[in-house]
Structure 1
Amino acid sequence: MPEYDFSGKVAFVTGAGHGQGRSHAQHYAKHGADVVVTDICENIETNPYDLSTPDELEETASIVEDEGQEALTIEMDVREESQVEAAVDEAVDHFGKVDILANNAGIFNAADMTEMPEQQWDEMIDTNLKGVWLCSKHVGQHFIERGDGGKIVSTSSAAGLIGTPSAGHYVATKHGVIGLTKTLALELAEYDVNVNAVCPTGVETPMIAGFTEAYGEELMDEMGAFSGPWSVFEGVDMIEATDVSEAYMWLSSDAARYVTGIALPVDAGMTAK
């Protein structure tokens, strides 16, 4: 594992209750950062599986503390600007600053475009795209005011680079995250802020498990069928959360100081075919 040094840094992680967000929080702490762990801690009506609970978010905070770093726990809905603004203010008041924003919060559900209820579309867009904008807006304002640079890393998806049947709303958000990333990279460059996105293939997390339970493995197979298997590596279907976290660590580090505006596939070759 590369020895990144985030000593004295503060990372603000959304969707940290479990899955990839928890992994990111632990990795930041392992490399010396204090971590603001945030999650909605309640379900979203059109999403068919349970989201993180307050107890799970507290467990993530304990994991950060077990790594020897301080954790600040905040329940926050990324769809609500007042909550995002208050959370960023609380983080800055508590730690004095934020250095890294990890835009991880997101949901994943399915419906054909011609049959999807408007509410399902709206809740996906608001969570996966508007939430990234709101968090980037308010942490970005802090970066500008502070004048000491910063890092924004957002989770797009392999589906942000290609199409996926039965998930057009999800695909739209993930393409949108890449467009937002490129634009923010240009707007914030003069303030020495790097803005990048990571594009994972399927990741073994509670989100994927909940999706599969709700819709069945057949739909998962169909959603992967547009490019064949989810991975080009023999014996590998989905990757692990730690694989995505390693990309987050690099993009958050000084090793990637001149990397900005990219969408980095961590997709086991899925989009190369």
Structure 2
Amino acid sequence: MAGQFEGKVVFISGAARGQGRSHAVRFAEEGADVIALDLCEQIDSVAYPMPSREDLDETVNLVEKTGRRIVAEQADVRDFERVREVVANGVAELGRLDFVLANAGIFPAAGTQRLDITAFVDAVDVNLKGVYFTIEAALPAVLNQGEGGAIVITSSAAGFKSVSTTFDTMSHGAAGYTASKHAVIGVMRHYATSLAEKNIRVNSVHPGGVATPMIINEAMGRLVGDQPEFGDAQQPKLSMPPMDPAEVTDAIVYFCGHSGRHLTGVALPLDGGLTLK
């Protein structure tokens, strides 16, 4: 049975593991071919281990197991020309582009690195400028196929409230993360308004804590242990298990699919009521 994205192509940044890998596999299961990128290197301001080339290769393996094609390359979303090159390579092989998932992001608000000003700079460069570069690099290909499309930005519950809630939890990394995740709502609304006449829908998802290596790691554990008020502030109102990446994927599939065809300019909290606190 053909999936709802049969004959379509999706471009995903940050696809080596976690949410990005979940999106890649699910879109492939729904019939889409995939263009994927990930940095696969460490950024100094990030205290947890970032994805490796082996992680990206595993995403390739999982997509190919569905029977779909994938073009996957190492690239830094901070490098606009390199992202354009990845998109061009993918479109040359797969023929078109319909969906853009600007998913790549970092959380430089843990570890001693969070106290260095570079943590703020890196958060803004990856989480804000990287989102804009991802969309701008992909947009000509989406426009070229002339049938509309969908763009989804991965923000955070931190797009609505600060991750630091006390003087003791302040850091350059927390400020950069909060600022960048707020700012991409503006990017989303800019594109949603401007691209509506081209029938390209643009929305953002705002998860709370998702069970991925960005959240479940030693550095984050130490931060919560040292500053329990930080951990308390990230707890959702609903008493539920930690969110699985596939649950975020479900929301993105909804935005891109037929059921979400009337939705654009939506900033969707997916946080168990965290932003109600």
Give TM-score, length-normalised by structure 1. 0.91
- Identify if the C-alpha distance between structure 1 residues 173 and 55 changes in structure 2 by more than 3 Å, giving closer, same or farther: same
| Residue aligned with 1:11, SS | strand
Q: For residues 96-124 of structure 1, what are the alpha-carbon distances to aligned partners after superposition, in whole Å with 9 as ceiling and x for unaligned?
A: 11111111100002279xx8433221111
For residues 30-109 of structure 1, the aligned pairs below 5 Å read 30-109=29-108
CA gap 1:211/1:146 in 2 versus in 1, 3 angstroms: farther
Q: Is the Cα contact below 8 Å between 2:156 and 2:206 reproduced in 1?
A: yes
Aligned to 1:270: 274
Q: Distance in 2 between matches of 1:43 and 1:216?
A: 20
- Code of the residue aligned with 1:199 in structure 2: it is H
Residues 237 and 272, structure 2, Cα contact 8 Å, conserved in 1? yes
Per-residue deviation at 1:224? 4.2
Give the deviation of 1:158 after TM superposition: 0.5
Superposed displacement of residue 5, structure 1? 0.5
One-letter identity of the residue aligned with 2:275? T
Measured in 1, the distance between the counterparts of 2:13 and 2:155 equals: 14
Structure-2 residue corresponding to 1:16: 15
CA distance in 2, matches of 1:259, 1:232: 26
Q: 2:216 aligns with which of 209, 222, 225?
A: 209
CA distance in 2, matches of 1:63, 1:139: 24
Question: Structure 1 residues 33, 214: closer, same or farther in 2, change over 3 A?
Answer: same
Counterpart among 246, 262, 268 of residue 258 in structure 1: 262
Number of the residue aligned with 1:225: 232
Structure 2: gaps spanning 5 or more residues = 165-169
Question: Considering only aligned residues, what root-mean-square deviation do their CA atoms show, in Å?
Answer: 2.0
Partner SS for 2:209? coil
Is 1:184 the counterpart of 2:183? The answer is no
Task: Note closer, same or farther for the CA distance 1:136–1:181 as it changes in structure 2 (3 Å cut).
Answer: same
Q: How many residues align?
A: 266
In the alignment, which residue of structure 2 is the partner of 1:246? Answer: 250
Q: Deviations over 1:125-157 (max 9, x none)?
A: 111110100011121222223322111001000
Matches within 5 A, 1:94-133: 94-110=93-109, 116-133=115-132
1:220, 1:198 → 2: CA distance?
27
Amino acid at match of 1:157: S
Q: Is the 8 A contact 1:4 1:253 kept in 2?
A: no
Instruction: Output the CA distance in 1 between the equivalents of 2:59 and 2:226.
Output: 31
What percent identity do the matched residue pairs reach?
37
Aligned partner letter, 1:269? G
- Equivalent residue letter for 1:89: A
1:65–1:111: structure 2 CA closer, same or farther, 3 Å change rule? closer
Q: Distance in 2 between matches of 1:14 and 1:219?
A: 32
User: Is there any run of 5+ residues in structure 1 with no aligned partner, and where?
Assistant: none
* Aligned ranges 1:148-167 → 2 under 5 Å: 148-165=147-164, 166=170, 167=174
Find the residue that maps to 1:208 and give its secondary structure: coil
Give 2:196's aligned amino acid: A
Seen in structure 2, the aligned counterparts of structure 1 residues 98 and 241 have a Cα distance that, compared at 3 Å, is same
